[in-house]
A = this chain, B = another copy of it.
Amino acid sequence: MNQLKKYFDDFHVISQDSFEKIEKITTQLNLKKKEELQAIGKTCKTIYFLEKGLARIYYLKDGNDITDNLILENNMIVRVESLFRNQPSRKAIEVLEDSEIIAIDAQKLMNLYDENPQIERLFRKIFEASHVETINRIESLQFHSAEERYKELIEKHPEVIKRVSLKHIASYLGITQVSLSRIRAIQN
């Protein structure tokens, strides 16, 4: 919980009272490696904060498992396109390591928005930051080579390579696992 408070403070400082209101609509989850947090086809009604562990959002494209996003500790896990549209998601969430997660009920959070604009603002800013990241990722996909994208990734998050299998990293980067293996071979 303390971790979550710190995370919030980076975006928008809210009162202790407001924080406690959020606390009241959370539950604590502990998942074992490879367990599923949310299934394909379910509409996203929960916002997760990853306290410890590692997660990914993925979907199936022509039978292939595609990693849409990798989430490290101290980050939110949300299937934004489902939450914001209130539609079933084609994407699923699973943890890649034993993980500790705080689940925030989205519907109750929306209700808090009504009574407390500070909370709405906090989450607005959190999602704005994620929006900006998404935009930057487009630029990267559009005009950087696979090799450049791989280098960017290890520069930003060197630990990912040790914690995530090549195939997940590859599909996250938009290439095949075979190609990623070759790229790594050249590096040395």
Main secondary structure of the interface of A (DSSP, over half): helix
Binary contact readout A46-80 vs B (1 if CB under 8 angstroms, 0 otherwise): 00000000000000010000101000000000001
Report chain B residues within 8 Å CB of A141. 138, 141-142, 174
Of A17-25, A94-102, A129-137, A160-168, which stretch is located at the interface? A129-137
Question: A128 an interface residue at 8 Å Cβ cutoff?
Answer: yes
- Report which of B80, B117, B136 forms a contact with A132, defined as CB distance below 8 A: B80
* Cα distance A130–B141 in the bound complex, in angstroms: 18
Binding site for B on A (CB under 8 A): 61, 66, 68, 80-81, 84-85, 113, 117, 120-121, 124, 127-132, 134-139, 141-143, 174
